[in-house]
Structure 1
């Protein structure tokens, strides 16, 4: 599950998240725009709905950004964890299939002047990855005017 949560501390968001994790038995969760520098063990354990998760995160930059990724421990062996300016990647082995993957959580810059460096950072990471990749998140990129939810096109 990839979700731009727009503030981990916003009232009701954690309850929504826990309900969704429980209802759909989510194995991987990646939250973008947490606007959090750090997470306590208590906060992270409170999100676990019956099973233990392995957690990693990328701190927010001031009052924007930040990511949190969690992996259901019964489903995944966790290997290398890497962070960049706009991503968190985790090497995992899917236990039932013994399948190795690299999972990328992405939160692209809202400042489109930084889009080229963001895409270059991801390109380098992908080119240097020998594993199959799953990548998701909020890329903050527009391909067409129809991608916008308002008429402010810049």
Structure 2
């Protein structure tokens, strides 16, 4: 199973869509998790630039100003999507692997970039993980620093 996880720091920056289109075409990822899209809205044109063949189902969470934003894609030949759940920092897709005949959850994360929101982020993450009975894969940019001083 192959996936692409990338903090793209701006989905509409020059060259990003061409880079994504090429790497997706070459590797045929099963799932894609992009963080820090820096977009309040991701339109169909942007998705067609990345995925011209329409091989992926895309879900996204808007950025908060110029910070954050999550875009998740799953290959529709590989997975059925049972449901999805959006949080402030997490986008969860409940997937059914067509080949292996198993359910699992894909959690794409862009953690709170500011210290004052860390507890809120970690609480949301704990809630998402604790309510899942199926296996899950947690990926993304957690924005966690263990120590703030050297």
1:85 partner SS: coil
Q: Which residue of 2 aligns with 1:55?
A: 58
Instruction: Give me the whole-angstrom Cα distance separating, in 1, the residues matched to 2:71 and 2:131.
Output: 23
Q: Which residue of 2 aligns with 1:87?
A: 90
Q: Which residue of 1 aligns with 2:21?
A: 18
Shift of 1:16: 1.0
**1:124 equivalent in alignment to 2:127:** yes
Q: Which residue of 2 aligns with 1:102?
A: 105
Q: Over residues 35-92 of structure 1, what are the superposed CA-to-partner deviations in whole Å (9 max), with x where a residue is unaligned?
A: 1111222321232254521010000101111011111100000111111010000000
Q: Which residue of 1 aligns with 2:35?
A: 32
Q: Over residues 106-152 of structure 1, what are the superposed CA-to-partner deviations in whole Å (9 max), with x where a residue is unaligned?
A: 0001102211221111101111111100010000002357xxxxxxx
Q: Which residue of 1 aligns with 2:9?
A: 6
Instruction: Give me the whole-angstrom Cα distance separating, in 2, the residues matched to 1:60 and 1:144.
Output: 27
2:132 partner SS: coil
Q: Which residue of 1 aligns with 2:81?
A: 78
Deviates more, 1:49-58 or 1:128-137: 49-58
5+ long unaligned stretches in structure 2? none
5+ long unaligned stretches in structure 1? 146-152
TM-score, scaled relative to structure 1: 0.89
Instruction: Give me the whole-angstrom Cα distance separating, in 2, the residues matched to 1:144 and 1:62.
Output: 27
Q: CA RMSD, aligned part only?
A: 1.6
Q: Is the 8 A contact 1:79 1:92 kept in 2?
A: yes
Instruction: Give me the whole-angstrom Cα distance separating, in 2, the residues matched to 1:70 and 1:143.
Output: 30
Number of corresponding residues: 147
